[in-house]
Structures are given as structure tokens and as C-alpha cells.
Structure 1
Amino acid sequence: MSWIEENYEKAALGGAVAILAGVAALSFIGKDDVSAKALSFDRNDDPSVEALAEVSSVLESRSAPAQIREKIVSGREVDLFVGQALYVKEGQSTAVDLYDSENVHQGIANAWWRKYGIDPGYVNSADRDYDKDGFTNREEFVAKTNPADSSAYPNPIAKLEPQGVEVFKMQMRWSIFNADQITLYYQDTKKRRFNERVSVGDAFFARDEEGIKGRFTLVGKVEDQAGPGGRVQDGYEIKDNTPRYKGEDREKFTVWRRGDKPGGFTEVQDLSVEFRLKALDKDNESFIVSEFETFSLPYDQNATERPYRVESIDPRGDQYIITVSYSEEGVKTSKEFIVSK
């Protein structure tokens, strides 16, 4: 905008002041010199008057709507507001056309960027996360989800990461009390230690301990079987009544007369894994899932639908191999995770 446009009122005022000054001068001169009455002001040489006329013309032209001519490119009608090519491939001067040029990013069709209105002009556009849901544009392209909608995203299991495995150890051994009962001795990693007299067919332990009361049932005696180290000995079969163990090999186990742990104990373990979901704004939250337990993603302990299941937590050397099963497009599949001990 010019100085004249910005100071239109000032310019007009200046012109008026100049005219008044001239009239005042005429009146003053007229008092002392009669010949002054012959002076004429038919021509006004004040430049502000001409400037005002130009300002008025400019303002009038500015009020008219802009006329943008149509341009046809490859049969498409395009409105151009810039004269500089928006995208130019490195080392070339020809502008990139998202309709006709080769794919801007390898493996992702140019039409995909146009469809969702995402800028492909960054070197790392494929690795950016447009809708901030934790999944990159390329991951959304592969999964055929909407990269501009945070409520539409690939299977979250792709962003699931194990943080560690928790091991809860329980050790038991027994001794004969009488023909119908045995005494079971118990200790665990929570430093609970006690013993209890148990009859075949009864649930135990009767103690009001969290996770212990009534958890096990004494099924019956096992005689002259190969126990730890191949040693032939007697034992008692025990059933674990924890719901998630039902139907699993872990549901039943044998407590031998002489187990392989110090003091002759036989050991059983509860395994669980701590997970963290690196997406969907859950990066700072972790949750724990036990072996054979089902869960949802994002994790919700009250969820009615739990499509994921920890099938196994298998110790191998200095690592744990965690297998999680789930269904994808109606087909049951699984994914393995590795975490150090």
C-alpha cells in the first residue's frame, strides 16, 4: 500500500488547508491593494489534488473482483496462484506432478497423498505421523487405514513392546500324616511360609491369603513314578483351580516326595509380562498380563472384548520368548516378543 493510500485523509486535509490559506491571503491582500482583486485561481497547481484523483482511481480498481483465468494441464482445470514449482525432484528442474509423475515416495502411490490431503513434499513424509496416532503414514498406507483420522489405525500389536517378565514362585513339599492325609509345606517369593494338613479331594490352602485360599486341590497319589532327575519316587498330583490354567498343561502338576529345589521342594511358577503400547497416547502407561490371559489393545481391564492372548512365556537361556495370539481378517495368527531376563 502506498503512502497516499495510507494517509488519504491527511492528504485531503492538506489540500483543504492550502485552499483556505489562499483564500485568506486574497482577503488580506484585498484590504491593502485594490489591484489584487484581479488575481485568478482558475488553475490549481496543488499536487495533492492530483494525488487524490489517483488514490480514488486505485481504490475503485481495488474494489473490482480479481479475474483468474483457467488453465488446463493434462486435461485438468487448474487454478494457479504461484509461478514457482512446488515440488522439484533433486537434481532435476522439471516440476513434480502428483497426477503424472512417478511416485514421490517409494512404494506409496501419489494418488494416496492426494486422496487424504497429506503433504508429500517432505523427505520423510512417509515416516511422519499426520494424525498423531502413533503410526507413520507408510504404516497406515500398508494397513489401508485413514492416515488423517486418529480413530482409524493399524493393528496396535505392531506397537506393543514387552518391558519385562515377572515370576512368582511357589514351592511345596509333603510328608505323610496318616493313611488319609498328608501335610503340605508351602513357601513363595512373597515370603509366605506355612503348612497345612490336606485330605485327598480337598481344596487348599484354607488360609485367607490373597491368591492362595482354595486355589489348589489335592487330586490323588502317584506311586513309583520317575520324578526329578529320573529318581523313582512317590508324589501327589495337584490341580491348580486358577481359571486361566483350565485346559492347559499347567493345570495339573505333581509335588514329589523329594523335589529338585533345596529342602526337597517342588516349584511351580506364575509368569506374567509387563507391556507398553507405543501408540494411541499410551506411551507412558504400562500394564501386566499373565500367561494364558486375554486382553484388549488399547489395554482396558474392564473391556468386554479381549482379542489378544498370551499363549506362552517360555524361558530360553537368558531370555523369555513371549507368544501373543490374535485374529487378523478372520485368520488366527501370533507374534513373538523377546525380552531379557
Structure 2
Amino acid sequence: MDYLKANYERLLLILAALFLLGAAFFAVTGMQECRTTFVSPAQAGRGAAFAPNESLAALKSESAKLAEPGEFTWDAADGSLFVSRVYLLRDGELVDIFESNTQLYPGVPNEWILQHELDYADRDLMMKDADADAFTNEEEFRAGSNPRDPESKPPLWSKLRLASYEKIPFRIKFMGAPSSKPWDLPEGSKSFPADTLFAIANPTDSNEPTQFLKIGDKIKGTELKIIEAIPKMTKNRIGADIDVSELVVQDLGTSDKIVLTAEKEVDSPYSYAIFNYAVTGEDIRVEKGKTFPLPPGRDSYKLIDADATGAVIESVSVPGERHTVPPASAQTAPAPESLPSP
């Protein structure tokens, strides 16, 4: 007993140490039991990669577009997000102008109308002038020009229509050289003798006397002067000689030359055509063989011929380029056409 009293504190330390050792022992054995009871899941091995989720990828792509509105485009054919697609009633049928094969204006693709942002709801659209350049939308379509750009338009000559034409009778007819027939001249002769007289008649007035003139003389009642005579002949169907000599006369006012053939009437070089010009609304009177400008451009054309079916004009800037101008009197005037170079 005396020993316990003397070593009381030491005994408490020993007991405390034993308690701690026991607690540590129970803690270790408890951890071992937990490991056996709760088994850790197996770690996934590095096998094949997961297949990409296409739906997720598409969602991310659309989200990126919404995040960058500057790069987002909207197709007009898709219509509006908040308004239904536009349908037009044509001949009792609803027409979707974006997808239907029905043309709102026969002969004109719907795509052309949409491309140029024209008012497709207007039934008279093709007869309107969207850019105020004096050409209808239909004319712009036919020419392949832009109906929204005043600088892009069909050629100006296509706005011409032949209002009328006048063939002035030619008041002279070469009757040959009475005293010197070509078969009486030496073979191979290229000219008549200097003193040869040539007969000039007026086919429009039988009462006017025939004139007998030499080279260098002026024909009375005209501004024409004889400058050359060429002997020529041919055979008719029965083999008889025919005089086809030529007399060259010159207009003293214009310097134009006219060739007259013996015993033949020729068209007057003084024929005229009057054109209606829709661009300016004016009438243009043109003499056959003369040139005329078409404002507001710099194009000029030469009148080649005119009759009841139309007029033929030739470009001055592009020699040989000819066009046919239809008559204005036709109920449905044919479209102006270009002619091949002669």
C-alpha cells in the first residue's frame, strides 16, 4: 500500500499509456475492416475514345453563331421568324415565289425579280420603269441590264420606232448616149468620147423636155453634176445587145455620188424616214444615207433604208453593225433586232 501511495502518479501515467495503446489498436483494426467492407471502384482503363456527340456539336455551333451576330446571315427565302411566308394569288392559285415553278410574269424567272428587289405584288411590274431611265423592266430583262441602275440599260436605238417613211421620186433618168452606143466603141473602151452627149429625162413629168448634156454639165432643175460615164453592155435572153452604161452624178451640196444605169429608174437618194424616239419623246427626221445622233448618249447611226416593214440603220462607231427598227403602226411591234454585218 505504501508503494502505491509513493508511486501514484507513475501508475496513472502507465495506465494512460496502456489506454492509448489499446485505442490505437482498435482504430487500426477498424480501418482494416472498412477496407474489406467498402471496396474502391475499379479505375477506367485508357481504351478507345468516346464517339463525339453530334447533337451537342451542332448546339455549340449554333450557340457560337448567336454569340457573333455580325457573322450570322439570313436567307430571304427562309422568310421572317415572326411573319409567315408570302403567297400571291395568281389565276386562282397560291404561288410561293421562292419555291414554286409558277412564274408570276410569264417568261421572267421569279429569281430575277427577287434578285433586283422589284415589287412582285404589282401586276403591271414588267411595264414599270424602276430606275426611271425610259426603259421598262421587261425591256431591261430582255437586254440583260440592271432595272435598278440608270447607267445599265438596253441600247438607245431599241427605243426607236419608224413612224413613217417617204420616198421622193427621182426626177432624172439616164437614157443612154444616143450617138454613141457601147457596142460601137472600140473593144475594151473604159470611157466615152469627150464630146458625147448623154440623154437625161424626167420620168415624173413627160412634158419636160429631155436634156442632152456632156460630162461636167449640171442637170437643169437639180444640184447634180455629171462627173463620169462608163460604157457597159450585156445580152438579153435572145442574145441581143443591151445598153447598161453607167452615168455618175454628184450632189453639189453634199458631194454624194449617185450611179445611174441606162434605161433604169433608181431609188431617190432623197428619201426620208421619221422615227419616234421614246427616250426624249421627240420625232427624228432622217434622210436616207445620212447619220443622226441619239441623246443622251454619244451613239450615232446611219439610215440605210426604210419601207413598210421597218427601217435599217447602221452604227457609226461600229461599221457593219446593223439593226432593224420596227414600225410604230404595228399593233404589236416586233422587238428591235440586230442584223448580221453585210
Normalised TM-score (structure 2): 0.49
Higher strand share: 1
Compare CA radii of gyration and give the structure with the larger one. 2
Normalised TM-score (structure 1): 0.49
